[in-house]
Structure 1
Amino acid sequence: MAATAAYDEIADWYEGEFLPRSSVDDPAGIDRALRGLLGPGDGHCLEIGCGTGVHAASVRAMGWFPVGVDVSAGMLRHARGRLACARADAERMPLGDGSVDAAIAVMVHTDMPAYPAVLREAARVLRPGGVFVHVGVHPCFCGGFADRTDPDAVVVRQGYGDRHWTKESWTDRGIRDKVGASHFPLAELLNAVLDAGMVPERFAESGGPTPIVLALRARVPGKS
């Protein structure tokens, strides 16, 4: 619950300062990756770790009905005007089996030390044939081991394979230095999707010149 309390404490800063600064013109390509991999739809799209609900507009614009869950009451205070949402643990969501048509997790997996369990829970609540979209910091170039002080040359230090949690950060204007982050090496992240029973379909990288974001679309086997 420590991360929950931390996000409660920074919710107003996140909404009022961090989001406007980090989202102008979508510099990391987060929204572009989400739209490109999710695509149009007309059912319920669950955002896991919805935070302040800033991605709901993009989901709604593609025809989906956005709903969300998050553990932080402070973040949900800002989200409630943007989508239907509830306070819940992403490992134990208050949803029935096969109850949603799509699910997304956008820039949250490093906040979830048990992300493999979250992926299994996502697979549980998705209907057969349902789509899951992950958009997250790039495991190869973002983390406590990656120094991005020079935007043209990321320095990757020891620690990539340690799967550790850290508050170490190259900037004091971001999230990790305030609440910390978990790191999942690339193979571990992709294997967690497979172990959850989902089948990857497409991948995308964005931000640069060294990628900041890695995104993927996977599907729960079966017909709608």
Structure 2
Amino acid sequence: MAATPAYDEIADWYEKVFLGGDGTGKERHAGAEEEGHAGARGAGGDALGLGRVLRDLLGPGAGVCLEVGCGTGVHARTVRELGWTPFGIDLSSGMLRYARGRLPVARADAERLPIRDGALPAAIAMMVHTDMPGYATALREVARVLRPGGVFVHVGVHPCFCGGFADRSDPAAVVIHPGYVDGHWTKASWTDQGVRSRVGATHWPLPDLTRMFLDAGLTLERFAETGEPTPIVLAVQARKP
């Protein structure tokens, strides 16, 4: 478990400035779409369609739905509206200070979930995989704690169009620089108004990210992309056989 989670240092900024302190998961910084856990403000308040894609891929259900890397817990409302009982884990005590008002939480490492085998019917990870250098291990842990038939929804920044190699300063013409295939950690970002320039991000090309799901023993079922004009979000619905 990391001794000093990076998000501890920016938790107050994240909640009060980046999210605006309203708990809706909508950033107030225009153009910071791929920079954090939540969706950018826009028409309907969900320009990236995170709520929509989560509702579509998770679907209605009952029982505990684990959120891996829950941050400040802004997605708990959507999970609850679908009938699930949200429960979150995160390494950052600073972020969990805000999450506790939104869902039950525990400070825990995604690579060592404090949950018994086959205990859960559902799990989600919302815009956090670039925060987890050990995401492959985290996916194996998700597969371990899911019961057979359990669903996992991954919603993350699109590996092909977001990262230190992607210049999104012109919304109409995203420029992709060399670096996509490298797979690396970096604080490079086209904007200094978001999360990545503060805590950095780990990048995996699409084949590597996809292979992580398969190596974890999860069956890929559905996919979705959101964001315009070039996709910002890639979402995956997977299931434990």
Please report the TM-score for the alignment, with normalisation by the length of structure 1.
Answer: 0.96
**SS state at 1:31 partner:** helix
Shift in alpha-carbon separation, 1:53–1:212, aligned structure 2, 3 A:
same
**Structure 2 residue 204 is the aligned partner of structure 1 residue 184:** yes
**SS state at 1:162 partner:** coil
User: Which structure 2 residues correspond to residues 117-196 of structure 1 after superposition, within 5 A?
Assistant: 117-196=137-216
Residues 129, 135 of structure 2: 8 Å contact kept: yes
> Which amino acid is the alignment partner of residue 117 of structure 1?
T
Partner of 2:33: none
- Alignment partners' CA distance in 2, 1:32 and 1:56: 14
Q: Which runs of 5+ in 2 are unaligned?
A: 21-27, 29-38
User: Which structure 2 residues correspond to residues 1-224 of structure 1 after superposition, within 5 A?
Assistant: 4-20=4-20, 21=28, 23-24=40-41, 25-221=45-241
**SS state at 1:187 partner:** helix
Q: Deviations over 1:75-106 (max 9, x none)?
A: 00000011111000000010000111100000
**SS state at 1:161 partner:** coil
Shift in alpha-carbon separation, 1:186–1:7, aligned structure 2, 3 A:
same
- Alignment partners' CA distance in 2, 1:75 and 1:10: 9
Q: Deviations over 1:32-89 (max 9, x none)?
A: 1111100000111000000000000000000000001000000000000111110000
> Which amino acid is the alignment partner of residue 93 of structure 1?
L
> Which amino acid is the alignment partner of residue 209 of structure 2?
L
Residues 98, 128 of structure 1: 8 Å contact kept: yes
- Alignment partners' CA distance in 1, 2:12 and 2:117: 34
1:2 is displaced (CA, Å) by: 6.6
Q: Deviations over 1:175-204 (max 9, x none)?
A: 100000000100111111011000011000
Q: Which runs of 5+ in 1 are unaligned?
A: none
**SS state at 1:160 partner:** coil
**SS state at 2:18 partner:** helix
Give the number of the structure whose residues are more often helix, by fraction.
Answer: 1
- Alignment partners' CA distance in 2, 1:203 and 1:92: 27
1:17 is displaced (CA, Å) by: 1.4
- Alignment partners' CA distance in 1, 2:205 and 2:158: 9
1:6 is displaced (CA, Å) by: 2.2
- Alignment partners' CA distance in 2, 1:207 and 1:78: 27
> Which amino acid is the alignment partner of residue 7 of structure 1?
Y
- Alignment partners' CA distance in 2, 1:3 and 1:26: 34
1:16 is displaced (CA, Å) by: 1.0
> Which amino acid is the alignment partner of residue 16 of structure 1?
K
Query: Stretches of 4+ moved more than 4 A in 1?
Result: 1-4
Q: Which deviates the most, 90-99 or 16-25?
A: 16-25
**SS state at 1:215 partner:** strand
Q: When the two structures are aligned, how many residues end up with a matched partner?
A: 221
**SS state at 1:136 partner:** strand
**SS state at 2:122 partner:** strand
